[in-house]
Structure 1
Amino acid sequence: MKSLCRPVAVLALSATVLAGCLPGGDDETSSGNGAGEQQTSVAVTGNPEDGAREAGIDLANPPAPIAKVTFKPSGQDDIDTTTIELLELKRHENVMLATFRLTGEGRGNEEKNAHQLLGYSSFQPVFIDMKKLEKYRHVDDLTTRPGNVKARLGEPIFMFTAFPLPRDGVTSMDLQMTGAAAVVADIPMP
């Protein structure tokens, strides 16, 4: 049953995207604090048999990262580092859809969930427009839940989220992928 849930979740998000029913136009949803909204949780592990293909990621030739940050997660003695990469950032109607890859490196071969790879932090990436001093928070209802996905150290986990579109004229922004890691400057907007 577990292996069936991931492809179904990916297909559910795809159907929502294709139907053009993504939230993100009003302030409540754009800030990621929309109460009462139906939650969509999509996550794909790096196992090719388990859904990277459903995420549109070709493991033989994955896209080059747009942005990358490596940090030491707190509270995890067996995880030496976690690397977070922004692989895709696409405009779709009133949101930007983002695909991230998390890879933990360390000792052991037991599965770790994304929450552990993040040092028990939430997955809450934020784009920052330093010129206009505005933050574009992820849409919480369209963000992977970090506890829902697992992979062995050295194997990637793919996570998804959406952001409100930037204001007209904004061509690049800084990206804070997690509070434990440095900000990546000048990410081009789609």
Structure 2
Amino acid sequence: MRRWPVIAFAIVALSALSGAAAYQHAAPRQHEGNGAWQEIAWPFPRDGWPAGKAFRCGVAACGGEVELYVRPKMGFCNCDRGVTDDDEVDRVVDLDLMSEHFAPLAPGQMVRLADMPGRIRAYDLKMPNGSPHTAIGVAVSRRCDLLVALAHGRAHAREMQRAALAFLATSEMTRWMTAAMEGR
């Protein structure tokens, strides 16, 4: 009689372990219309902002391995002006999560993501291990809220910017960015 609870517990435990193992070894999720980008785990420790979404793109589609991080920063933007200058892009796009050593390649440009205006800027980035990377920082706003995106890797800046903006413009990402900015 006492064996049944032990057997039931063993079955439940084995089922849970099997499910966890299957989940961990499942293929990463690819996103609509752009199989080049695969969602990965958010790689950064918790800070004052919620974790966002992280993605990786391979050499064939992005000209080098590229990672892209996107997240909202609610209540962090100038409510009257939005993102209007390169200094603000430098401050808010999370470059400091990658490295303290970065230098802009050129003045930024105006950009729109998910119907939000802002700026985009390219950077040289020296990683903590000393390897050089390129980074693309994007900061857009709606009312007093900010959405930031940071792509980095070994691809050429122009190619990385093209690939990142094309991915961020997909309907799936546009829906996610809009929902994230509405707090959903």
> Under a length normalisation based on structure 2, what TM-score does the superposition of the two structures give?
0.31
Higher share in helix: 2
> Under a length normalisation based on structure 1, what TM-score does the superposition of the two structures give?
0.31
Which of 1 and 2 has greater Rg? 2
Indicate the structure whose relative CO is greater, using CA pairs within 8 Å and at least 6 residues apart: 1
